[in-house]
Amino acid sequence: MSKRVTIADLAAALGMSQTTVSTSINGTGRVSEATRERVLAAATELGYRALPAARHLRDASTGAIGLYLPTRYSGYRYHMRFASGVAERARQNDLSTVLLALGGGQDPLHRPVFPVDGIVIGDPQLGDPALAMLIDSGVPVVFGDGIVPGMPTPSGVVRSNHREVFLELLDSVVTLGSTAPVMLTPTDLSDWGDTLRRGYREWCETNRFAHEVCPVDIDSSPAAVREAVGTFLGRSNRVDAIISSADIGTSAVLHWARDNGRRIGEDLLLAQCTDSLSTTLSIPTVTSIDLRPDALGVESADLLLAILSGEQAVGAEREMPLRLIRRESTSHPLIGRDHRA
């Protein structure tokens, strides 16, 4: 699907401020007739058209879309980048983004009223009671990154191709000579976490590898994770590839490798299922999957606006492609091991 031309695109093409462009198109404020005509001509040439949902929101009482993030993880960089993407897409359509904070104790006899025309939910988690409440709010709701079982169906879903890129990562370590891979699995109850756990189990069965996993909770202390990972990896000296779900597990592996004379990128492969600043700054740099949270936020907000405008029907789904970033930790075949083509 081609990207919709936005106010920001017009402003950049014309060398004007977004306020001037928006004012010219909407017929509000004070701009010269020559400026207005220039903007309208460029809008026609570039294929810009005002989003009906945005006009509706401006004319109604909200002018905003809502954003809900899982309370447990909402301070993490991934979710902040997702939020930034949602807010940016809303801003491009002259809308505000309202962060929805939901706690326990809501009166079950009175449905909460949210002062927004639609809601984006980032990283929905199994067992989060707020999901059903938000879907039942009376406004369209879009899930950013998959769905969770047992929840009412949202108005739209953006899915990332986690399984496809994850299997690409797993196959790559075998190609580099791994015969004894293990995984530090996530404990989070999202579509992402479920996909990784299920995908690794099925991949091990298909390729006849032992299913060796160590669950790692990202909310645990670094010391506790280092101890758990060290105990897990210390059970066998055959481990030659480690797939870590997140930074805290990767950090534990780096400590363990240093303390046990293992050389990452040489006799031990290491990769992470999320890209981060740590994967680019560690020594060696770590191969990772870029989850593209900024782009996911933009796409989720865009789908919500398309549903609000009637451009896409309720129940629409979109896919967000991810990418595998290969770095030093998996740049060469394992030393002293057979290379599998």
Specify the CATH number for the domain of residue 22. Answer: 1.10.260
Q: Is residue 286 part of a domain?
A: yes
pLDDT higher than 50, residue 185: yes
Q: Assess whether 270 and 190 both reside in one domain.
A: yes
Cis peptide leading into residue 284 (ω within 30°):
yes
Q: Is residue 69 part of a domain?
A: yes
| 66-91 pLDDT, tens digit each | 999 987 665 578 899 999 999 999 99
Nearest-angstrom CA–CA distance, 158 and 181: 31
- Out of 129-138, 225-234, 273-282, which region has the weakest mean confidence (pLDDT)? 129-138
Q: Which of these, 40, 39, 41, 47, lies nearest to 4 by C-alpha position?
A: 47
Q: Assess whether 155 and 69 both reside in one domain.
A: yes
| 290-341 pLDDT, tens digit each | 999 999 999 999 999 999 888 888 999 999 899 999 999 999 999 764 433 3
Q: How far is CA 92 from the centre of its chain?
A: 20
Q: Report residue 15 as tokens.
A: 């060398």
Q: Is residue 2 part of a domain?
A: no
Q: Is residue 298 part of a domain?
A: yes
Q: Assess whether 181 and 255 both reside in one domain.
A: yes
User: Which CATH number fits the domain that encloses residue 100?
Assistant: 3.40.50.2300
Q: Assess whether 214 and 234 both reside in one domain.
A: yes
Q: Assess whether 45 and 147 both reside in one domain.
A: no
Q: Is residue 176 part of a domain?
A: yes
pLDDT number for residue 4: 65
Q: Is residue 153 part of a domain?
A: yes
pLDDT higher than 90, residue 26: no
Average pLDDT over all residues of the chain: 85
Q: Assess whether 179 and 242 both reside in one domain.
A: yes
pLDDT number for residue 338: 43
Q: Is residue 151 part of a domain?
A: yes
Q: Assess whether 260 and 185 both reside in one domain.
A: yes
Which letter does DSSP use for residue 328 in this model? G
What is the extent of the structural domain holding 46?
A: 7-50
Place of tokens 């058209």: 49
CA angle (260 as vertex; 258, 264 as ends), nearest 5: 50
Q: Within 10 A of 115 (CB to CB), how many other CB atoms are there?
A: 11
Q: Assess whether 284 and 166 both reside in one domain.
A: yes
pLDDT number for residue 289: 96
Residue 190 β-bridge partners: 125
Secondary structure (DSSP) of 218-241: TTS-HHHHHHHHHHHHTT-TT--E
Contacts of 298 by beta carbon, 8 Å cutoff, 6+ apart: 85, 86, 88, 89
> Looking at the chain, which runs of residues are DSSP E strands?
64-68, 96-99, 119-122, 141-144, 156-160, 181-184, 241-244, 269-272, 287-290, 316-320, 323-325
Q: Is residue 339 part of a domain?
A: no
Selected residue with higher pLDDT from 164 and 36: 164
Q: Assess whether 223 and 282 both reside in one domain.
A: yes
In the chain, the number of structural domains is: 3
Q: Assess whether 193 and 151 both reside in one domain.
A: no
Q: Assess whether 148 and 215 both reside in one domain.
A: no
Q: Assess whether 101 and 203 both reside in one domain.
A: no
